[in-house]
Every structure is written in C-alpha cells, then in structure tokens.
Chains A and B, each alone.
Chain A
Amino acid sequence: QQQVKQSPQSLIVQKGGISIINCAYENTAFDYFPWYQQFPGKGPALLIAIRPDVSEKKEGRFTISFNKSAKQFSLHIMDSQPGDSATYFCAASMGSGGYQKVTFGTGTKLQVIP
C-alpha cells in the first residue's frame, strides 16, 4: 500500500530555474513531513521538514508548501544549481520522539543542467 505518492519520477531543470516536486499522503495520522536528499552511493540526508500546523517553511533556497485539507505537500528548490542534482524523497511519519516509522515516497531524480 503506497501511503505517500510522489511525482514526478524524474525532473530536468536548467541552472537558476525552480524545481518543484509534489507529494500526496493518505493517512491523516501523519504529523511530520520531512524531505530527504540522496546522492548516489550515500544514505538519505534530511533536507527540510514541516508539521501540518504550518502551511509553509523556508530554509535558504528550499521551501515546503503544505496543504492539510488536500493532504498534499511540495518541495520548491529556487535558483537550482548543478550541485542539487540528486534524488529527493518526500516522507511522512507519526509518533513522538524516537517512536516513529518513516514512510517514504518513491523518489524524484533531479538533474540540473548548466
């Protein structure tokens, strides 16, 4: 059962452009929504995260937009750079502290071309 759906599967953006990745979830019990960045041969690294009581969170060039009623959230990468080329995973989890199970989307492979 796919509880977090992610699109697109792949994305090509020119340097300086905006990269947008979308996710949708089903379980309303999820209360934490992180985004992970993964480079080839590496483990996922936390990029930015949001809770459902906030509609937007911005950290540098990365912004999460969250629509609780639609059960959707998205990642925007402003001024995309070739170094941003990686696979991005949205995720959702529930539970407090360490008692949580993270459910990942299927990933978006981003390529930023000069």
Chain B
Amino acid sequence: DAGVTQSPTHLIKTRGQQVTLRCSPKSGHDTVSWYQQALGQGPQFIFQYYEEEERQRGNFPDRFSGHQFPNYSSELNVNALLLGDSALYLCASSRQGAGNTIYFGEGSWLTVV
C-alpha cells in the first residue's frame, strides 16, 4: 500500500520563475492538503483540495495555486518565485468521513536562488 508520494524530491529554481510540485495521495484517500515548512519551523497550511475544488486556504498569496485531478492526485503551482519561497513543501492526504488522521509525504525541497 503506497503512502503519499511527491515529486520531485529536490529542485532549484531562479527567482521569478514558476514551479509545479506533484502529489499522489495514499490509496483510498480523496482529500489533499499542501503545507510549506521553512527550515527550523513547523509546517504552515497552504490549501486543501477535495472533489477537485479548493476547500480551505491558509494565509498565502495568490501566487500559490493548486489543482486536483479526477484520480485525486494534486499539483501545487507557485508563480513569480521569491527567495523566501525556499522551503520543504509537504503534501498530506486524508479521506472524508474517516476521522482526523492525515498522512504526510516526504516532501519536495525547493531552493530559490
């Protein structure tokens, strides 16, 4: 039973560029959330997708956008990258009606130079 998988694991982008990160949820899960974890900090909630719609959003600018596909996988897009966007981006999945447990992937390390 595969857990939450994310790609790529590491990437380096230049300031001003755009990046797309990908996530496949745990088998049987239908809800995907994205978190940003800066070095030495706790994860910060970006947004959550269910039924291909953004259901909740944290305090992040519109440069951060996402998408969920019919197979429940998800993408996180960040436009006009800033140096401060350098962080570990975590995807978490859960299933509606199955309690509060969410499962995290290993994350995608983004470095903006």
State whether the Cβ of A66 lies closer than 8 Å to any Cβ in chain B.
no
Across the interface, name the chain A residue whose C-beta is closest to B31: A98
A103 CB contacts on chain B under 8 angstroms? 45
B104 touches A44 (CB 8 A): yes
* Nearest CB on A from B59, distance (A): 9
A97 touches B41 (CB 8 A): no
A97 to B94, CA, bound (A): 8
A49 touches B42 (CB 8 A): no
Across the interface, name the chain A residue whose C-beta is closest to B45: A101
A43 touches B41 (CB 8 A): no
B90 CB contacts on chain A under 8 angstroms? 43-44
B94 CB contacts on chain A under 8 angstroms? 97-98, 100
* Nearest CB on B from A2, distance (A): 10
State whether the Cβ of A63 lies closer than 8 Å to any Cβ in chain B.
no
A99 touches B104 (CB 8 A): no
Q: Which of B13-21, B50-58, B61-69, B73-81 forms contacts with chain A? A: B50-58
Q: How big is the B interface, by class?
A: 20 to 34
How many chain A residues touch the partner (CB < 8 A)? 26
State whether the Cβ of A42 lies closer than 8 Å to any Cβ in chain B.
yes
Counting chain A CB atoms within 10 Å of each CB, which of B4, B104, B106, B107 scores highest?
A: B104
A101 touches B99 (CB 8 A): no
A45 touches B104 (CB 8 A): yes
A98 touches B96 (CB 8 A): yes
A34 CB contacts on chain B under 8 angstroms? 100-101
Cβ-closest 8 pairs across A and B: A104-B42, A98-B31, A43-B104, A98-B94, A98-B96, A32-B100, A97-B97, A97-B96
List 22 contacting pairs A-B, 8 Å CB cutoff, sorted by A: A32-B100, A34-B100, A34-B101, A43-B104, A43-B105, A43-B106, A44-B43, A49-B100, A93-B100, A96-B97, A97-B94, A97-B96, A98-B30, A98-B31, A99-B48, A100-B94, A100-B102, A102-B33, A102-B45, A104-B42, A104-B43, A106-B42
Interface positions of B (Cβ within 8 A of A): 4, 30-31, 33, 35, 40-45, 48, 50, 55-56, 58, 90, 92, 94-107
